[in-house]
A and B are shown apart, each in its own frame.
Chain A
């Protein structure tokens, strides 16, 4: 079999304002953290190249503004996503409660072919803050993820660079599986619907 051509994976990061979406992206792609980030306005993306199972892939990670009203114009970059990352701040329970809304919003706007099996990953960010400030326990988050279609769950600190690479590796694998399953269904005209969600064992929690 000839080497497969490089694959482009598209990933969208969603979540409430200020949970650390831009910081996670910067930490993962550029290994940088700054206390001077500005609130994201509009949208931007970064590319990350990686090799997965001997295949070179380019992951395009999209970062958007967190205030909900700005999502309505964001149709353009939801479309064609292969994986969606839902981020909340473990010290802010409101941002956790909003995850369902973000998930629904994404499915509505991106309108993926098979919404039931579309790959999401949930990230609880800012675990570097002292334990007493923590508002959402890992247990609660895991229970939610399990109940919401077995979504892989990770805890990270973009500031201290903990857990970020592992989380995004899973994002990449699930996005790739999504691309492959779509190729497959394309080839066989939707007769078989394959979904690969074999990555949950990589869960950091």
Chain B
């Protein structure tokens, strides 16, 4: 075989290979081009900087069968060996990679010409991970390289090895599954100094020269000048910028950080505004017509209802005009941000999108034959966060999400756990079931009637809980009691009995808190989905751990959340905040219901289930629900500012959003807002660092602790204190 390899000066030492790295020239998958990503050392090269990073399409290599084999061989050989030695590279002689060739997308570029790598990890069931190489020269635009790991033998082998060592269960560190890009970066880091860009962690700067890192940052924060370069990841403003000048510019850009930069940043999008404004401006006739409508005329404009009516109408017009081009708008909104603030690095793939829900087949594939998870918890959560669960997955998936099932358990362990939980639930239930009536104190009786009243009016529109006896349309409150003192209407529906029993048991189980209004709303979906009172009880208890702070006697938990939301609105939607101040609405009371029972009353049943499972992942923040609230304000802020002039009007408007909310759109918006929030905090932290180091002594911009806490995925648990003697559950 050796004879097939012509030896000449042009030959190249092949040092590392990733196979099944694709270029996607068009959105159509049939146009994808498979190839090799290789590091190759040209003969005669003396420094690492001369090493070439090359992508060669398979077709090109197949012209020379020997080359193809050696490329494949290097790919497999590395991964077949343990990680520690996988960098002991096989070195093989092959023909030099082609330099840039547009027609076949092949390229090769010396490390010294690479400015940065933009790295996107793969997400489960969705994209392939990709790496885009940004060069130091503006002319070369290299295509993003997609790592088709599922087709790459070497990556699969490495994933298997890691899974065997159980490294997959690393949920909190946020580590995700090993992928082809990791391998490439690992190898490249042997030959080049890679530094993560501070302002955007998806960027790796390659052998950053003095000023590169700063320039990269400068671009991100200061520049409205050259946004397109920014998106391409090319250092901008390199040419004419005298360093002192640039420093001053940065300083200036930051000087008004809170109300200047932030207020612009935080705007929903200027484009959306322009669109809705345009529609509004150009439609005086419909407005007049509307005002002529008898129901509007009757009310007259000095009453709030007319304004709410108008506000809703304005929103519907704006929505109408957006619906057709929603997708485009999201892109354009983001571009707008980039060009305005040079802030967000966005391209099509950075856009949050909703995905299909996790099907039962996909869910089952997360587990091995023992029923043990074989992907990371973080991956599962990411997948659920973006797609939710199919109804068939929920009964099991929810128990994992709520922490009833440990993520690293086997099916056998879970089975055992369930039997134990059944015993425990029955024991707890028996505690009150066997009590003599005279043993029951006033508190118990008070709580019992509270529970009964609420069970009566919980989700009775759901078939499960609908009335099922002759008493249809009968007494809402039935005063006929059975031997336990329970009203007979409840006893006519087994599911209502179960709801009641679980709540009474919880009332006993969590003695300090007890039952509080709103809890029945939290329990009912759990019971309907799990269809098992034991499991629903424990799922509910687990859910209540994080929800306990909503129900405290002194309401401090609700108050703190509303206060935090207040800070968040101030921070992210300053113009709306000013309006809320003017209308004495900064208490944000209209979010009370949404927060207390997590949008149970605002969303359709199926959407409630979806939202809750998304929130339970704590994927971005354990308080993501506040970003959902923020997203509602964000969507409606123009209408609120233009049309709603008082607290009562705003409250009415918000209450009437009930059952009109498009959950997917809301979640995408909330996710975007979260990213924007996180980026803003980082930016301010960096600026504050600069200020502390500079001599001008200007005060750092403070970020309140509660805002910073929004970046944490750790669930906040606040327990109720002991119930003082004689205090009832009210």
Using a CB–CB distance below 8 Å, which chain A residues touch chain B?
Answer: 5-6, 8, 17-18, 35-39, 41-45, 47, 49, 58, 60, 65-70, 72-77, 89, 91, 94, 126, 129, 133, 159
Contact B592 A38 (CB under 8 A): no
Contact B475 A42 (CB under 8 A): no
CB of B587 to closest CB in A, whole Å: 6
Known contacts A8-B303, A42-B592; is A129 also within 8 Å of B516 by CB?
Answer: no
Contact B592 A41 (CB under 8 A): yes
Within 8 A of A (CB), among B435-460: 446, 449-450, 453-454, 457-460
Give Cα distance in the complex from A66 to B446, angstroms.
14
Contact A39 B454 (CB under 8 A): yes
Contact A36 B555 (CB under 8 A): no
B302 at the interface (CB under 8 A from A): yes
Within 8 A of A (CB), among B674-690: none
Known contacts A44-B655, A72-B554; is A5 also within 8 Å of B597 by CB?
Answer: no
Q: Which residue of A lies closest to B647 (CB)?
A: A76
What are 6 A-B interface contacts by the 8 Å CB criterion? A37-B457, A38-B458, A67-B516, A67-B730, A73-B555, A76-B587
Q: Which of B305, B450, B458, B477 has the most CB of A within 10 A?
A: B477
Contact B300 A6 (CB under 8 A): yes
Give Cα distance in the complex from A31 to B398, angstroms.
42
CB of A166 to closest CB in B, whole Å: 22
Known contacts A17-B450, A41-B592, A70-B517; is A91 also within 8 Å of B479 by CB?
Answer: yes
Q: Which of B457, B596, B655 has the most CB of A within 10 A?
A: B457
Contact B453 A17 (CB under 8 A): yes
Q: Which residue of A lies closest to B587 (CB)?
A: A76
Contact A47 B305 (CB under 8 A): yes
Give Cα distance in the complex from A69 to B450, angstroms.
13
* Apart from the given pairs A17-B517, A67-B730, A69-B516, 13 other A-B contacts in the complex at a CB distance below 8 Å: A6-B303, A36-B461, A38-B601, A41-B521, A42-B589, A43-B651, A65-B517, A67-B516, A70-B555, A76-B587, A76-B589, A89-B477, A91-B479
Contact B589 A41 (CB under 8 A): no
B593 at the interface (CB under 8 A from A): yes
B652 at the interface (CB under 8 A from A): yes
A159 contacts which of B454, B476, B554 (Cβ < 8 Å)? B476
Using a CB–CB distance below 8 Å, which chain B residues touch chain A?
Answer: 298-300, 302-305, 446, 449-450, 453-454, 457-461, 467, 473, 475-477, 479, 516-518, 520-521, 551-555, 558-559, 562, 584, 587, 589-590, 592-593, 596-597, 601, 647-648, 651-652, 655, 730
Residues of chain A within 8 A (CB-CB) of B305 are 47
B555 contacts which of A18, A39, A72, A76 (Cβ < 8 Å)? A72
Q: Which residue of B lies closest to A44 (CB)?
A: B655
Contact A45 B652 (CB under 8 A): yes
Known contacts A35-B473, A41-B592, A43-B589; is A69 also within 8 Å of B555 by CB?
Answer: yes
Give Cα distance in the complex from A37 to B461, angstroms.
10
Residues of chain A within 8 A (CB-CB) of B648 are 45, 60, 77
Contact B555 A129 (CB under 8 A): no
CB of A127 to closest CB in B, whole Å: 13
Residues of chain A within 8 A (CB-CB) of B454 are 17-18, 39
CB of B205 to closest CB in A, whole Å: 50
Give Cα distance in the complex from A40 to B485, angstroms.
25
Q: Which residue of A lies closest to B601 (CB)?
A: A41
The 8 A-B pairs with the shortest beta carbon distances in the complex, nearest first, are A42-B593, A68-B730, A18-B453, A42-B592, A67-B517, A133-B479, A41-B593, A36-B460
Known contacts A39-B457, A47-B303, A133-B479; is A73 also within 8 Å of B589 by CB?
Answer: yes
CB of B389 to closest CB in A, whole Å: 26
Residues of chain A within 8 A (CB-CB) of B730 are 67-69
Contact B477 A91 (CB under 8 A): yes
CB of A197 to closest CB in B, whole Å: 27
Residues of chain B within 8 A (CB-CB) of A76 are 584, 587, 589, 647
Q: Which residue of A lies closest to B460 (CB)?
A: A36
Residues of chain A within 8 A (CB-CB) of B450 are 17, 67
CB of B359 to closest CB in A, whole Å: 33
Q: Which residue of A lies closest to B600 (CB)?
A: A41
Contact B475 A129 (CB under 8 A): yes
Residues of chain B within 8 A (CB-CB) of A77 are 589, 648, 651
Residues of chain A within 8 A (CB-CB) of B516 are 67, 69
CB of B474 to closest CB in A, whole Å: 8
Residues of chain B within 8 A (CB-CB) of A126 are 477
Contact A39 B652 (CB under 8 A): no
Give Cα distance in the complex from A157 to B255, angstroms.
64
Contact A69 B518 (CB under 8 A): no
CB of B306 to closest CB in A, whole Å: 10
Residues of chain B within 8 A (CB-CB) of A45 are 648, 651-652
Q: Which residue of B lies closest to A36 (CB)?
A: B460
Give Cα distance in the complex from A159 to B272, angstroms.
47
Q: Which of B516, B517, B559 has the most CB of A within 10 A?
A: B517
Residues of chain A within 8 A (CB-CB) of B449 are 94
Give Cα distance in the complex from A77 to B592, angstroms.
13
Residues of chain B within 8 A (CB-CB) of A42 are 589-590, 592-593, 596, 655
Give Cα distance in the complex from A36 to B461, angstroms.
7
Q: Which residue of B lies closest to A129 (CB)?
A: B479
Give Cα distance in the complex from A41 to B519, angstroms.
11
Known contacts A36-B460, A47-B303, A129-B475; is A41 also within 8 Å of B596 by CB?
Answer: yes
Give Cα distance in the complex from A129 to B477, angstroms.
9
Known contacts A68-B730, A159-B476; is A58 also within 8 Å of B303 by CB?
Answer: yes
CB of A38 to closest CB in B, whole Å: 5
Residues of chain A within 8 A (CB-CB) of B299 are 49
CB of A52 to closest CB in B, whole Å: 16
Give Cα distance in the complex from A39 to B515, angstroms.
14
CB of B558 to closest CB in A, whole Å: 6
Residues of chain B within 8 A (CB-CB) of A17 are 450, 453-454, 517
Give Cα distance in the complex from A55 to B558, angstroms.
42
Give Cα distance in the complex from A58 to B559, angstroms.
32
Q: Which of B453, B552, B597 has the most CB of A within 10 A?
A: B453
Residues of chain B within 8 A (CB-CB) of A44 are 651-652, 655
Give Cα distance in the complex from A49 to B651, angstroms.
19
Residues of chain B within 8 A (CB-CB) of A74 are 589
Q: Which of A65, A70, A159 has the most CB of B within 10 A?
A: A70
Contact A36 B457 (CB under 8 A): yes
Give Cα distance in the complex from A35 to B596, angstroms.
23
Contact B453 A39 (CB under 8 A): yes
Give Cα distance in the complex from A159 to B473, angstroms.
11
Q: Which residue of A lies closest to B303 (CB)?
A: A58
Residues of chain B within 8 A (CB-CB) of A94 are 446, 449
Q: Which residue of B lies closest to A8 (CB)?
A: B303
Q: Which residue of A lies closest to B562 (CB)?
A: A73
Residues of chain B within 8 A (CB-CB) of A41 are 517-518, 521, 592-593, 596-597, 601
Contact B479 A6 (CB under 8 A): no
Q: Which of B454, B461, B521, B648 has the most CB of A within 10 A?
A: B648
